[in-house]
Amino acid sequence: MHSIVIYGSRSGNTERVATAIAETLRAAGTVRLLTADEAPAVLDERVDLVVVGGPTEGHTVSAPVARFFERLAPGAFSGAMAAAFDTRVRMPRWLSGSAAAAISRRLRRAGARLVVPAESFFVTRQPALEAGEVDRAASWAASLAGATQADRPAR
């Protein structure tokens, strides 16, 4: 399986989550880990899975993640399996917003097929990742890899 993990990160927390996801997905195949600013506007046709994440800022995606989606050509992720994640303060989603929810919508508009529900990883107000969130990100990535393998057409 060929995966790409794209992330935006302001304080390094989302980068740590994205790195844990990428490291776990490597057990299932090749993975490219890219910031939203360096990610390509057109998906390599060999990519089976695209994972996009970023911090929740102002109830939605951060500027680098928004710019990434603005660069995409229509249907850029057509046929690709996808998943979305965010980092945010632990509070009801209606209060904090969720970058992952916005990313999910944008992935679908780009033609991707979401294979698991969007996931949030939690930070404190300092901001720092809550204890155990990197491990939880690795577990989420393992379940994502399993769902992707089960949903992937035979070649």
Residue 154 confidence (pLDDT): 47
Q: What is the CATH number of the domain that holds 144?
A: 3.40.50.360
- Report residues of the chain scoring pLDDT below 50: 154-155
Going 45 to 50 to 54 to 56, the CA torsion angle's sign is positive
Per the structure, the count of domains in the chain is 1
Count of C-beta atoms within a 10 Å radius of residue 103: 30
Give exposure, 49-68, as e/b (b: 16+ Cβ within 10 Å): bbbbbbbbbeebbbebbbeb
Count of C-beta atoms within a 10 Å radius of residue 94: 8
3-state DSSP assignment of residue 155: coil
Query: What string of H, E and C letters represents the secondary structure of 109-136?
Result: HCCCEECCCCEEEEECCCCCECCCHHHH
Residue 150 confidence (pLDDT): 66
pTM: 0.93
Question: Which domain covers residue 49, as residue numbers?
Answer: 2-151
Residue 155 confidence (pLDDT): 45
What is the token pair recorded at 31? 């993975």
